[in-house]
Structure formats: C-alpha cells, structure tokens
Amino acid sequence: MNILSRRAVLAAWAASTAGVLAACAQAPSTTGSAATFTPSSDLATPGSTVPQVSVKAAFPPWGDELLGVAGIDDGYYKAVGITITPEPYGAQQDLLMNLTPLINGQVELGGGYLPSIANQIDNVQNVVGFAVSDVSYVYRIVAPTGRYKTVAQEMTAGATFADALTTVMAQLKGQKLICVEGGSPLFRNTVAKAAGLDLEKDVDIEFLANPDLVKAGFAGKADFLSPSSAGFVVQLQQKGWEPLVDLRQVIDNLPSDDTLPLRFTYSGLVTTTDYAQDNFETLLRFTSVIYRLIDEMEADPEATAAKFVDYLNSYTGTDLTAKELAGSFDDIYSLRTFDRATEFYTDQSDPFFYESVATANLAVLGEQGVIEKGHTPDELSIAGQVYAALARYRQEADKALAAAPDSDLKQQAQNHYDARNYLDAYRFAATAAGRN
C-alpha cells in the first residue's frame, strides 16, 4: 500500500483524468473562462402534454446521490416525461470521483458533488451542478467503539470543544490514519490545525478507496479511519466503530471563518453547460423529481429509504437496512426541501449560503495549489438559476390555477404542482385558463 502525502494524492487524482478531460472539454482552460450558460427569460409554451425525452443518467453509489433511484420504480420520472437510460436505474458511474463519463457524453447528467468539480475545475470548466439536494456532514474520524476518547464524551464531561479536540486528536500521534483516496483534505487539516497536530509529521497517513478502507479497519490494520461515504460510515458505526470527531461538531464549535470552506459540501445533480443550454426544461423536470423525493423522505424516511436500499446494497456491497439508511439522513445528510432551499441561494446570512461558502473553498484550494487561483462560484453551479426558474414557474402556476375554471386539465396541473413539477403545472394551468 502506498503512503502518499496529502498534496501528492490530490495531484495524482487530478492528473489521472486531466488528459481525457482536457481533450473532451469544449471550454477553454484559462482560469475564469468557464463555459457560459444563459437560460431563456421566456416562459414555456402552454400545453396539455409533457414532452417525452430519454436521459442518460448516473446515480453514484452514495446514499444521498442515490435518492433519485427511489423515484424510478414509482414512475416519478415518467410522470415528467423522462425515461432514465440505461434502464432501469441508469449507469453505475461514480461522478464524484470521475467526471469523464459526463464530459465524453456517456452520461448526460447525474448525481454529483460540487466539491468534486471544484477540485478539477482547471480541466472541466464546462461541468456544473444544477441542483443541490443537501449538505453532507459525512466527514469524520472514526475508531473502534470504547477504545479511545471522543469529542462528544469529553464535552459531556465538561471540556470545551477546543480542549476536547486537542485531547482526542493527540491520540492519533504516531498512529496510522487511513483516509479516502482522492478525498478532500480540508476536514482533517482543519481539525489537526485546531488541535495543534502536524499531520505531515505526527501521523502516518495512508490512502485507500472507501471499500478498502473499511476492509482494512475491520481487519485491524488501523484504528483510525476517515471514510467519506455515508453507506460505509453507517456500516462502520453499525459494526463497532464510533466517530471521534465529525464535521457537524466542527462547524458548530469552531469560529465561522475557520469552517466556511468546510461548509462547501453540497450534494445534488451535475451536467454540462452544453446540455443545460439545450435541455433546460429537462433539468427543471428532473430537479422537480428530486424535490418530490425530499418531501417523501421528510414525511416517511424509512419507507422512502426502503425504495432504494436494496439497490444501494447491491451497488456498494453494504448490507444496510432501510432503517439504517434512513438514519443516515439524520446523522449525515441535511436535506433541503424546495422551500428551505432558498437558504442556499438568497439568504446571505445562512451558514451554507452558496456564494460565500464556494468562494472560501475555491480560495483555499487555490492557496494549496490544488487548482489555479481566481476561480469563481458561478463556474461551478447553475443551481441558483434552476431554482429561480422553478420558483418563477410556481408563481406563474399559482396565477394560472387561480384563473382557470374547474376541469380535468386544471386537476392535472394541480397534480404536477403538488409533485413539485412547477413547469408543467404552469403549462397545463395556463392552457386550462385559456392562454395561448
């Protein structure tokens, strides 16, 4: 097993796909010159049918990115005119770790993680997020339960967070810490710095893929692990491991300026700017399904998790129950319903306001030499534009529904509205109201 420095691993990961990405990407590679995207300002044409399209999609093997699979068997995508290909559940491509399938057109859109785009932005400037479903608190350092002191235990006993963290991280000195290969170093660097621990000198860091990391832990090859997949975190914590410190504790207790880059932990959906420009309405409909599923997860987590837990287990090799998977959405994922998603895009005082958090993260990556300096948040995401379009269609649908007489078409419009498909809710309601 190779023992690599933090910088070497990040450089190797970026370089591993740089050649093919640079060859396939249409956007120029000059910093700040990302492919542009401009949605039409015109409202969609009213109508009484939903256009039918096939979408080459991928749902990566991570709990929140796989949420979309829960809507396939129930026909939620079919209801908005979308057929997922390859059937039944899309391609098994991990777009968090490798954007090549998206760039070369093998996949048109899929579950993704904005930090993954940020880490590779010098080479993939035409890849963007188009929806944010949640923030992930997955980052943590875990160890066998009861064997070491934890931050939670130390704080319960009366220690301040700073003292608790110092005590806990001191236990890693001279020990092996296995981290995920290609993962972001910001969490472990932040907690180490706050605890006065020099990871380069004091800790023997090894990098493995998530499945191998878990196997190494169960085989007793290391007592300290830092996984970055909720499925594997849950598996570890269900089988005798516990967090020594986790991201939620860090964000809640360290000064805001120290944790701002760490809050750039958005999961959701990604595509290319070319696809977005040509298929914006498809993105709106696809996003509406995700918001519908978030509503269901909020209302009945276990029942919703049961819809895709078997697929997750077959995909990842885990053996989670629906209850355990649902529990990860309390412990690890923090979903945002459509109404709460305004926190990301319009509420500058929110701890997870996109512009502030993305700016801080890009600055840190630039300072560390992972990417060139000078990149801006609008190069990473059009999710704010997608959300604004959906919000606009909701307002227009409200007006059209109020004006339309009772009819079967108006009821169809209401059904789309209730399913968060505000685009077709407007189109159907406008037709029912006699608009052309």
Contact indicator for 260, 354 with CB cutoff of 8 Å: no
Q: What is the mean pLDDT of residues 370-387?
A: 94
CB atoms within 10 A of CB 145: 14
For residue 331 the two structure tokens come to: 């412990």
Q: What is the mean pLDDT of residues 398-412?
A: 98
C-alpha to C-alpha distance for 132 and 128, rounded to whole angstroms: 11
SS3 158: coil
Smallest CA-to-CA distance from 113 within 62, 55, 77, 70 is with 62
CATH topology of domain 140-262: D-Maltodextrin-Binding Protein; domain 2 (3.40.190)
Would you place residue 183 in the very low, low, confident or very high pLDDT band (cuts 50, 70, 90)? confident
Is residue 403 predicted with pLDDT exceeding 90? yes
What's the full length of the chain, in residues? 436
Quote the pLDDT of residue 1: 29
Is residue 424 predicted with pLDDT exceeding 50? yes
Is residue 230 predicted with pLDDT exceeding 70? yes
Would you place residue 332 in the very low, low, confident or very high pLDDT band (cuts 50, 70, 90)? confident
Is residue 286 predicted with pLDDT exceeding 90? yes
6-137+265-387 matches 140-262 in fold: yes
What pairs with residue 54 in β-bridges? Answer: 83
Quote the pLDDT of residue 111: 94
Q: Domain residue spans in the chain?
A: 6-137+265-387, 140-262
CATH class of 6-137+265-387: alpha beta
C-alpha to C-alpha distance for 326 and 174, rounded to whole angstroms: 37
Helices (H) and strands (E) in the chain, counts: 22, 11
**Identity at 335, one-letter amino acid code:** L
Q: Provide the percentage of residues in the chain whose pLDDT is more than 90.
A: 72
How confident is the model over 16-55, as pLDDT tens digits?
A: 333 333 333 333 333 444 456 788 889 999 999 999 999 9
Q: What is the mean pLDDT of residues 412-431?
A: 98
C-alpha to C-alpha distance for 67 and 100, rounded to whole angstroms: 22
C-alpha to C-alpha distance for 215 and 224, rounded to whole angstroms: 13
Quote the pLDDT of residue 36: 66
Q: Provide the percentage of residues in the chain whose pLDDT is more than 70.
A: 92
Smallest CA-to-CA distance from 49 within 29, 79, 73, 4 is with 79
Alpha helices in 73-134 (DSSP H): 76-79, 100-103, 114-119
Is residue 205 predicted with pLDDT exceeding 60? yes
Helix axes 230-238, 309-316, angle to 10 degrees: 90
How confident is the model over 112-150, as pLDDT tens digits?
A: 989 889 988 998 878 999 999 999 898 999 999 999 999
- Taking all residues of the chain, what is their mean pLDDT, rounded to a whole number? 89
